[in-house]
Amino acid sequence: MTTDLHVVIRNQHVAPGILRLTVDGGAAQPVQPGQFHMLKTEAPEPLLPRPLSIHDVEGDLLSFLYEVKGAGTRAIAELVPGHRIRVTGPLGRGFDVQDLRGRILLVAGGIGIAPFRYLARALVAAGRDRLTLAAGFRGLPYGIEDFAGVVDDIRIATEDGSAGIQGRVPVLYRPQDFDVVVACGPVPMMRAVQQGCREAGTRAIVSMEARMACGIGACLGCTTQTTTGMRRVCADGPVFPADEVIFDER
Amino acid sequence: MSADIVPDLSVELNGVTLKNPVIAASGTYGFGEELLPFHHPSVLGGFSTKGITLYPRQGNRGIRLHETRAGMMNSIGLQNPGAEVFVRDIAPRIRGLTGCLIANVGGSDIDDYVQAVAMIAAADVDMIELNISCPNVKCGGMAFGMRAEDAASVVRAVRPVCPKPLMVKLSPNAHDLVAVALACQEAGADSLSLVNTFNALAIDVHARKAVFDNVTAGLSGPAILPIALRMTRDVARAVRVPVIGMGGIETGEDAAAFIMAGATAVQVGTAGLVRPDALPRIVEELAAFMAREGIANLGQIRGIV
Ligand SMILES: Cc1cc2nc3c(=O)[nH]c(=O)nc-3n(C[C@H](O)[C@H](O)[C@H](O)COP(=O)(O)OP(=O)(O)OC[C@H]3O[C@@H](n4cnc5c(N)ncnc54)[C@H](O)[C@@H]3O)c2cc1C
Ligand SMILES: Cc1cc2nc3c(=O)[nH]c(=O)nc-3n(C[C@H](O)[C@H](O)[C@H](O)COP(=O)(O)O)c2cc1C
Ligand code: FES
């Protein structure tokens, strides 16, 4: 874990409103798929850093795939090569690659696809050859090309029918066909994964989102309700067994 | 330039010597251990723990954080493992991390405060910081810090069970802050820290409702600095006991400003959430500022404004 300014190598659109940022990794540290970093530009505003998942690690380069949502991600989107950005991490508990075996399904909702490239590469490197990706998008898909040559079975759903099957991600799979399901995306999607897997008796793992301030477990601002009490998404997660998470009813 | 000056940053606080005046503020530094990958807490003057209550608390549900211009709002709701777990498991584990371990204590009625302080002050901590100002606890918490007589009643009640130095943390939302400060001093406070967060409101205009479930939440960060600085000066000029100033400090020069306003030491919260190396940097910047300005020790600038 370090906090340093890193040089922007690339920061390019891969789709409207979706960019890939690559920074010089500096002191390359071991990172686990599913971990994240806190990023903040050198501008005073916005004040707080923003959490972004590790999208990939190649040699000394670290990359992030992100969607422009508000002021924080907009400020990051304005960076050009040579600019510097504060990167703190790697943070949190990621996916335990050793623990993922058999028929593995990765379920992504929108930008929830971000951590899956590095995870898929790590799974393939660990000899897992039965990988499926089910990705859902509102409109045109993005980030899928990252899985070419890594995952053979790629299934796409779009709500507007612009690509793949029209509908939401659950139309793409039956949980009972898999040994473990790994999900990252909006809460309604993860709730659906939790429920579907519970009914099918399939183990499920989710990567949670929360608003964060410190990202290191110090402020208790990012907690989520679990069967073992309020837990910090940044330090106790973001990856949790789906059965431990209690999704808010609202 | 007087480049050969090696400034002395140490301060004396109720008989405890701090190596420098920069203390991590309660609720923003966990129990000190979270920061270990980035710096050792012993480089600071000390740290104040997350607020501890008599019994464990789950804290608030729903959104707990919201960013504002030059600040942030929080509604954590005093999530903590309770006094027993703190005394038995946490205090012994973190004792060695700092030369000044300050246990921040919260409560919702006087009996809770008294029992919690009695337990925690008996543990190996250096000081108690009594949070009479947390704006997030619906019943009680707020009330004690708002009016002089309520503040005095809780300080008077815990004083006899607290053999350690007792720092009382004031709320900037008090109706008459100086009156509350004087009442706490009279009731036996050994020092006063200020400010806690400002009670504030954020509205999501698209959803047409308050951002936080509790409607209001506490504002901290650079936005509050000038008000916190003025309040620190008001209180420091009125009381005899040491004052620990805070609110929006981001740099060594910000810390120097609070000392000039009369603070003995300072606390830093939000800046440390923005970047985990902020507090050690503030120490370094303060030392550099003093060296540049030819200030040999903080006594030379304390309360000069
Ligand atoms: C562990 C983790 C990993 C993440 N990884 C990625 C990633 O790889 N790529 C990516 O694009 N995004 C990722 N996110 C989400 C990303 O951090 C947010 O989209 C970003 O912080 C928004 O900041 P902003 O300033 O652009 O928008 P803001 O102005 O902060 O927010 C825009 C809108 O979204 C709301 N909002 C902000 N944060 C949240 C939240 N966490 N939950 C619900 N509503 C919210 C705000 O209220 C506002 O309406 C991750 C989040 C977490 C916790
Ligand atoms: C996330 C968060 C949690 C806090 N928790 C506590 C607490 O438990 N007890 C307390 O006395 N103050 C608490 N505070 C208040 C801070 O200690 C400090 O008084 C305030 O944030 C102003 O300083 P700053 O502007 O440097 O952050 C908290 C502040 C924040 C931002
Ligand atoms: S963001 Fe501070 S504890 Fe998770």
Average pLDDT rounded to a whole number, residues B267-288: 98
Q: What is the pLDDT of residue B109?
A: 87
Length of chain A in residues, anyone?
250
Best A39, A48, A225 member to test B by mutation, with max B CBs in 10 Å, is: A48
Q: How confident is the model at residue A28 (pLDDT cuts 50, 70, 90)?
A: low
Q: Which token pair is A30? A: 């071991």
Q: What is the ipTM of this complex?
A: 0.94
Give the dihedral of Cα atoms B27, B32, B34, B36; nearest 10 deg. 150
Mean pLDDT is lowest, of A28-37, A85-94, B230-239, for A28-37
Of A48, A86, A230, the CB nearest to B72: A48
Note whether A121 and A208 are same-domain residues.
yes
- What residues are paired with A229 via a beta bridge? A226
Residue B136's pLDDT is: 40
A136-180 tens-digit pLDDT = 999 999 999 999 999 999 999 999 999 999 999 999 999 999 999
Does residue A206's CB lie within 6 angstroms of at least one atom of ligand 1?
no
Domain of A163 in residue numbering reads as 97-244
CA distances in angstroms from B245 to A135, B11, B145, B234, listed in the order given: 51, 14, 16, 11
pLDDT (average), residues A32-45:
96
Q: What is the pLDDT of residues A63-108, one digit of tens each?
A: 999 999 999 999 999 999 999 999 999 999 999 999 999 999 999 9
At residue A117, the pLDDT reads 96
pLDDT mean over A195-208: 97
- A180 and A126 fall within a common domain: yes
- Residue A30: the pLDDT is 85
Residue A137 placed within a domain: yes
Q: What is the CATH number of domain B11-61+77-198+220-300?
A: 3.20.20.70
B202 CB near a chain A CB, below 8 Å?
no
Same domain flag for A74 and A102? no
- Bridge partners, residue A241, by sequence: A205
Across A69-73, A115-119, A215-219, B57-61, least confident range: B57-61
Under the banding of pLDDT at 50, 70 and 90, the label for residue B246 is very high
A203 lines ligand 3 (CB under 6 A): no
A132 shares a domain with A24: no
Alpha-carbon span B98 to B94, nearest angstrom: 8
Handedness of CA A44, A47, A48, A51 (dihedral sign): negative
Average pLDDT in the B221-248 region? 98
- Of A61, A91, A121, which residue constitutes the final position of a domain? A91
pLDDT score recorded for residue A26: 65
Residue A249 in domain: no
State the Cα–Cα distance between residues A113 and A136, nearest whole angstrom. Answer: 9
* Contact yes or no for A217 and B34 at CB 8 A: yes
State whether A73 and A129 are in the same domain.
Answer: no
Q: Find, in chain A, the residue whose alpha carbon is nearest to that of B36.
A: A1
- Look at residue B113 in the predicted model and tell me its pLDDT: 94
Question: What dihedral angle (degrees, nearest 10) is formed by the CA atoms of B251, B254, B256, B259?
Answer: -130
Residue A29, pLDDT > 90, answer no
How far apart are the C-alpha atoms of B121 and B144, rounded to whole Å? 20
Q: Which domain-ending residue is among A40, A57, A91?
A: A91
For B303, the 3-state DSSP assignment is coil
- Shared domain check, A119 and A236: yes
**Contact at 8 Å (CB) between A38 and A215?**
yes
A125 backbone dihedrals φ, ψ, rounded to 5°: -65, -30
Tell me the pLDDT band of B3, cut-offs 50, 70 and 90.
low
pTM of this prediction exceeds 0.90: yes
Task: Please indicate whether, in this complex, the C-beta atoms of B273 and A218 are within 8 angstroms of each other.
Answer: yes
Buried-state track B203-215, b at ≥16 Cβ within 10 A, e below 16 = eeeeeeebbbeee
- Say if residue A232 is in the same domain as residue A153: yes
Secondary structure of residue B29 in the 3-state scheme:
coil
B4: confidence class by pLDDT, cuts 50, 70, 90: low
Per domain, the residue ranges of chain B are 11-61+77-198+220-300
Confirm if B173 and B146 have CB atoms less than 8 A apart: yes
Residue B9 is predicted with a pLDDT of: 98
Condensed to tens digits (0 to 9), the pLDDT of residues B114-144 reads 999 999 999 999 999 999 985 445 444 456 9
Same domain, A203 and A145: yes
Number of domains in chain A: 2
Same domain, A127 and A207: yes
Question: What is the pLDDT, as a whole number, of residue B138?
Answer: 43
Q: Go through chain B and tell me how many residues it has.
A: 305
Instruction: Find the CATH number of the domain harbouring A10.
Output: 2.40.30.10
The answer on pLDDT for B5 being more than 90 is: no
Residue A120 belongs to domain with CATH number: 3.40.50.80
A45 closest CB neighbour out of B28, B63, B69: B69
Residue A80 covered by a domain: yes
Whole-number pLDDT of residue A27: 57
Q: Are B54 and B108 in contact (CB under 8 A)?
A: no
Residues A135 and A226 in one domain: yes
Q: Out of A91, A126, A161, pick the residue that ends a domain.
A: A91
What is the residue whose two structure tokens read 């400020």?
A75
Contacts of residue B34 in chain A, CB cutoff 8 Å? Answer: 214, 216-218, 235
> SS3 for A61-90, per residue?
EEEEEEECCCHHHHHHHCCCCCCEEEEEEE
Residues A46 and A164 in one domain: no
In this complex, do B62 and A248 lie within 8 Å of one another by their Cβ atoms?
Answer: yes
| A226 & A145 share domain | yes
Contact assessment for residue A166 and residue A138, using Cβ atoms and an 8 Å cutoff? no
